[in-house]
Structure 1
Amino acid sequence: MSDPTVAAGEPMLEPGADLGRDDSGRRQDRPRSLGGDAWHELRRKPTFVVSMVIILIVVLMAAFPWLWTHVDPNAADLSRVRQGPSGQAWFGYDVQGSDVFARVIYGTRASLLVGVLSTVGAVVIGGIVGILAGYHGRLTDSVLSRFADIFAGMPFVLGAIVILMTFNAPGSNPGEVRIVTQVVLSIAVLSWPVAMRIMRAATLVAKQQDYVKAARGLGAGPLRIIVRHLLPNTVAPVLVYATISLGANIGAEATLSYLGIGLRPPVVSWGVMISDAKDYFTVAPHMLLFPAAFVSITVLAFVMLGDAVRDAFDPKSR
C-alpha cells in the first residue's frame, strides 16, 4: 500500500538523506556519505563541542605558549620558593621558585607531543599487522595474533620499566630528543595490540563483502584490495580508538614521569611537574594540583571526543 503523504512519482527520503536545492531553488534529496552523516550527528552533540573547545585550547597552548605567558618557565627565583597562587603568579611558584603557570603552559607541548606520536605509532603498527592478519587468515593470522598476545599480556608499567631502564642506565642523563623518543616508542610498542585486534576484526567482516569478492574476481591483487577496498572501510573504528587512546597516552606519560622513568628535566611536561611536586604536597599542594588538573581535563576531553565519534559512526547507538 502506498503512502498517501508522498506524491506520485516523488522519491521517498531515505535515512541519512540531506536536503539540497536545485537551480530553481526547490529542495531536492541528496544522500549523505558515512562521513557526512557522522559530521551531521557530531555537530548536535554537546560533548563533542565541549571536548573540541578544550582540545583546541590545549593545542594552542602547545603551539603558541608565548601567547599565554611571557615568563620563562625555567627562570628561578629562590626568594619565592613554594609561594602560593597570587596576582603575580596565578598558579604560584614551585620548589625552585619557577612560575607554575608558565611551566604548565610550556609543559603542554611535551605532554601532547608524546601522546600524539605514541598514538600514531601504535595505530600504524597495529593497523598494518591487523589488516594483514585479517585478510590472509589461517597461518598468518595465527602467527601475528600470537605475536600480539605477547605484548598484550605484558603489564604496561612493568614493560615500560624494562624498556626504558634497558636503554638508560641508572644515573644517566640522556638528551631531550632521545628521552622523548624512548618514551614514545615504549608506549607505542606496549599499546599497539589493541589497535591490531580492532583492525583485524573489522577486516574479517569487510573481506566477506561483495565489493571485495568482486575485486578479487576481476583479478585485483592483495595489495590493491587492501589499500583500495579494505583500508577505507575498516579505518573508522581504529580512528575512534586512537582518539580515546591519545588521552590515555598523555596520562601514561605523566605516570612514567611520576615514577622517574619517563621524561625528566630539563624537559618541561605535566608529568615532570607532578613528579617534582610529589614530595611537597602537604606544604605546597598547588605545585601538584594544577598540572594534575590539566592532565585530567585533557584526558577527559579526548575520552569525550572518542565517545562522541564512536556514537556518530555507529548507527545502532543512536
Structure 2
Amino acid sequence: MSARSRAPESAEQPESPAAADPGAKAPGQRSGPDDRSLKQIAWQRLRRDKVAMVSGIVVVLLILAAALAPLLTKWFGYPPTQFHQELIDPVRRVPYVDPDNPGLGTDPWGAMSSDHLLGVEPTTGRDLFSRIVYGGQISLIVAFLATLVCVALGTVMGIIAGYAGGWIDTLISRAMDIFLAFPLMLFAIALVGVVPDGLFGLEGNGLRIGVIVFIIGFFNWPYIARIVRGQTLALREREFVEASRSLGASTGHILVREILPNLVTPIIVYATLLIPTNILFEAALSFLGVGINPPTPSWGKMLSEAVPLYQQAPYFIIVPGLAIFVTVLAFNLFGDGLRDAFDPKTSD
C-alpha cells in the first residue's frame, strides 16, 4: 500500500465547536429566538401590536398632559375657574360667535378660537380646554392611587392565601366572597356624603379624593387577590421553591424573593386594566354629585352639568364624554396588548 493511502480510521480529526457541543454557536453567529429573555420576547410582541403601541403612546400623552396641566393652561388657555361672562349670550346662555360683535349671533359649538382651543362652557364661559386638562389630572390621580391600594392589598392577601393554604386560605377566600358581594357604588355614595370635613386632617376635595381612593382600593382587592392566589398555588410546588425550602429559607424569603418576582407580570397587566375601571368609577360618583366638589374640574361633573344644556350646546356633553372615552379605550387596548405580549401561549 502506498504512502498516499488513507490514514488509519483511529486517527483523530479536529472537531469543530458545533460538533463538540451541539448548543455552541460558531463565531459571528447570531442568537436564535430561544436565546431571548421573557422581557425581550414580550417587547418584540408588543412592538408588533400596532394598536397596543398607539394606545401606549396615547396613555403617555394623557399622563404628561395631566402632569403638565398648569403649564398647558398657562400656554394655551385660562385658569379653569375663571369666568368669562362677556363671551356668553345672557338669553340663550351659549357663547357668541364673535364676542366683539354680538350681532352675529351665538355658536352652539363653543366658539372655539386660538384663545379657547375647545371653546368655553355655556352659562359660565370657563375655558373648556383647561377644565378638560385639570379634570384628567383628578381622574388619573384617583385611578392610580386607588389601583395602587388595590394591588398592594390584593397581592399581599392573595400570596398569603395561596402559599399558606389550610384554614388561612379558607378564611381569606371567604373574605373575598364577602367583599365581592358588597354593593360598592351604593356604599360609596352613602359614605362620601356623610364623611365629615377635617377627618384625618383632610377637608374639601382632598378628603373626597382620599375617601374615593379608600373605597375603590379597599373593596376591589379581591379581584386581583384571586389571580395572585391562583398563581401562587402553582408556584409553591415548583422546583425552585422546593429547593429554597430544603435549604432552610424562611417563609418571608420564599414569598418575597422566589414567588413575588414571578407574579409581577400578571400584576402589571391587571393593574393596567383596572385603571380605566377606576376612572369610570370616579366619573360616575362626580356625575351623581358625590365626587369632586365644584368648582374643581371633573369629567363626570362636567357631564352632569352638560345634560340640561345638550340641546343649546351639544359640544359641552361631547367634549368631556370624548375625553373619558379616549382615556378608557387607550388604557384598555394597552392592557390587552400587554396581556397578549406576556402570554406564553401567544405565538411569535
TM-score normalised by the chain length of structure 2: 0.81
User: Match for 2:232 among 186, 190, 203?
Assistant: 203
Residue aligned with 1:316, SS: coil
Q: 1:27 matched to which residue of 2?
A: 30
1:34-53 to structure 2, matched below 5 A, reads 34-53=38-57
CA contact (8 A) 2:77 2:127 kept: no
Residue aligned with 1:27, SS: coil
CA contact (8 A) 2:204 2:293 kept: no
- Alpha-carbon shift at residue 176 of structure 1 (Å): 2.2
Q: 1:92 matched to which residue of 2?
A: 119
CA contact (8 A) 2:273 2:335 kept: yes
User: AA paired with 2:112?
Assistant: S
Q: 1:270 matched to which residue of 2?
A: 299
Q: 2:209 matched to which residue of 1?
A: 180
User: AA paired with 1:277?
Assistant: A
User: Match for 2:59 among 32, 55, 61?
Assistant: 55
Runs of 4+ in structure 1 over 6 Å off: none
Q: 2:183 matched to which residue of 1?
A: 155
User: What percentage of aligned pairs have identical amino acids?
Assistant: 38
CA contact (8 A) 1:164 1:186 kept: no
Q: 1:4 matched to which residue of 2?
A: none
- Say if 1:127 and 1:9 are closer, same or farther in 2 by CA, change over 3 A: same
1:71-220 to structure 2, matched below 5 A, reads 71-81=78-88, 82-83=94-95, 84-87=110-113, 88-94=115-121, 95-168=123-196, 174-220=203-249
C-alpha distance after superposition, 1:205-263 (max 9, x if no partner):
11111111111111111100000011011221121110011111111111111011111
Residue aligned with 1:277, SS: helix
Gaps of 5+ in 2: 1-17, 89-93, 96-109
- Say if 1:74 and 1:221 are closer, same or farther in 2 by CA, change over 3 A: same
Distance 2:41 2:31 in 1: 17
User: AA paired with 2:221?
Assistant: W
Q: 1:301 matched to which residue of 2?
A: 330
Calculate the aligned-residue CA RMSD, in Å: 2.2
TM-score normalised by the chain length of structure 1: 0.88
User: AA paired with 2:284?
Assistant: T
